[in-house]
Structure 1
């Protein structure tokens, strides 16, 4: 099988083919789609608070939304941005249609639990990084 691939490469079959975009054709279009999604989330905040009876202020929820968007601000690949937008749209839809439980929404606001460091010899030995 590898010899078939080698012959194909030698014959010039492995040419550079441009990768087709998922949705956005260029970075500007992807940026517009990100901003549109961001605005949709911001507009939905009062409804989310009311639906899930969150004990947080509107500003707190908006800050959490901004934090979630800023986690991926380093991504520059248009295809990766499109995938993140699609996931964000699905998450918004699930939230607005009440397909999530209260605990799923509240997980965004809870501090992540820290893994306790082992105190005994065996626990320390097993968690060593080599």
Structure 2
């Protein structure tokens, strides 16, 4: 039960958003973003309002209501063949974890799998570099 993460900064910009051999290996890459209530002092992860998703394909962009964002994320985080990217993914993961405490362990497992130094895939290497 794991997904894979990439920080949507240098790595995606230099590699055009797709890891090597992703199509051959059947991987799917989704950009994921959350919108929340306003931040307040002491509130690290404000309540979820809605989400948005997209792939590299033009026209794939979707705005999700709260229930749809929850459904998409809980299914995606459990799929090892899906990679989640985002501009501020650490915040979005925190929002989703605060929204559903049962997602904390799957999020942790996905993070640990992509940061495992024994994995030698290009995706895992790029992810480890991005998380440093």
- TM exceeds 0.5? no
Pick the structure with greater CA Rg: 1
Q: Which has the higher helix share?
A: 1
What TM-score results when the alignment is normalised by the length of structure 1? 0.24
Q: Which has the higher strand share?
A: 2
What TM-score results when the alignment is normalised by the length of structure 2? 0.24
